[in-house]
Amino acid sequence: MPPSSLHAKATAGGPRLVEGRGELSCALVEALRSGETPRYRTASVLKADPWGEDLQLALYLLYELHYRGFDGVADEREWDPELLRLRRALESRFLHVLRSELTDAPRTAADAFAPLLVEPVDLSSSLSRHLETTGELWQLREYAALRSLYHLKEADPHLWVVPRLTGRAKAAMVAIEYDEFGAGRPERIHARLFADLMADLELDTGYGHYLDHAPAPLLATVNVMSLFGLHRALRGALIGHFACVEVTSSPGSRRLANSMRRCGAGAAAEHFYAEHVEADAVHEQVVRRDVVAGLLAEEPELEADVAFGCAATILLEDRLADHIREAWDHHRSAMRSPLPDPPPAQQKTAGSAVT
């Protein structure tokens, strides 16, 4: 019996559904709008490009049912068996390509994290270095709009792992997450700070607002957190992802804070990244010594999964950076459709309107 026949309560005021980008995502969008079962060919899942727009959007939409849902979509669809069946099939494709790409990746946590503890001498391929030195305001706005798909729910995906940890790892993980969620002060929640950054950049602060603009490489960086977080079997990989982000965040955040300052983006825009320079420098120590080491002391068999989670994070972030730089180097938007130009006042301040 379809959920619509059960008079299921629909989410009101949530993010809006976007149009599909292929057979699978179109079938899913239609099913979410109608309350019916998604209609797609099984062969289409097997043939779908795991890096492509269709599969990555479909996965993102399915995962969002576990977060804030969508306007007009019944909350009960979160556990619809047919949607879960589709999600599982798409996840298998995504996970398989990640493992296939990382067959030569490190198998121990020490080997995975060692290269990340020393900042590279050559930063020519670094996206944050580009933004710090020569990035323009329109590029900062694009970067922030794309990253908003994660940062407006920052730390939420990593909370899935907390009930799956014990002892030292659990206590340390909760301590870090407490900081991420503002240490009891709602105005300091990191997602709120990012919304303030977006306001400084004259961007829409609505949750999920820029989904239709986001290309597959960006969606994949968000999807991997939900993939790891929603499966207990992948708890080690989620810890690897979390640790990788915390270990690498501080230097990149410093460069991004500098870029916001150089372009005159605004105090809140600069503050978001400045906050992460200090906070993540502390978190980096705690996550390695207590979260990762604590988990492996309890479950040493998860070490390869921790290393895999770290390697997958780097792979996906590198793919996204390559996508963005390739577009910007050719004076194109990195988004599926460009943002409107910033207001004239901002253009004067930073002197960097899109041309």
Name the 3-class secondary structure at 64.
helix
Q: For residues 81 and 185, give the distance between their C-alpha atoms in angstroms, rounded to a whole number.
A: 38
* Same domain? 154 vs 56: no
As a whole number, the mean pLDDT across the chain is 92
Confidence (pLDDT) at 164? 98
Q: For residues 31 and 17, give the distance between their C-alpha atoms in angstroms, rounded to a whole number.
A: 11
> Which residues lie closer than 8 Å to 211 by C-beta, 6 or more apart?
15, 18, 60, 149
User: Phi/psi of residue 327, each to 5°?
Assistant: -70, -50
* Same domain? 305 vs 195: yes
> Which residues lie closer than 8 Å to 326 by C-beta, 6 or more apart?
none
* Same domain? 187 vs 278: yes
* Same domain? 95 vs 154: no
Mean pLDDT of 313-341: 96
List, for residues 43-60, the tens digit of each pLDDT value: 999 999 999 999 999 999
Residue 189 has pLDDT above 60, yes or no: yes
User: pLDDT band at residue 289, thresholds of 50, 70 and 90?
Assistant: very high
Confidence (pLDDT) at 352? 38
Residue among 169, 192, 167, 196 nearest 181 (CA): 192
Of 101, 130, 150, the residue at which a domain comes to its end is 101
Cα atoms in the 13 Å half-sphere on the side-chain side of 20: 19
* Same domain? 123 vs 23: no
* Same domain? 219 vs 296: yes
**Total number of domains in the chain:** 2
User: Phi/psi of residue 74, each to 5°?
Assistant: -60, 135
Confidence (pLDDT) at 54? 98
pTM: predicted TM-score of the whole model, two decimal places: 0.92
Q: For residues 327 and 228, give the distance between their C-alpha atoms in angstroms, rounded to a whole number.
A: 29
Domain-embedded: residue 251: yes
Range of 71's domain? 3-101
Give the Å distances, CA to CA, from 9 to 36, 153, 211: 15, 23, 24
The residue written with tokens 């292929």 in the block is 22
Domain-embedded: residue 160: yes
Confidence (pLDDT) at 277? 85
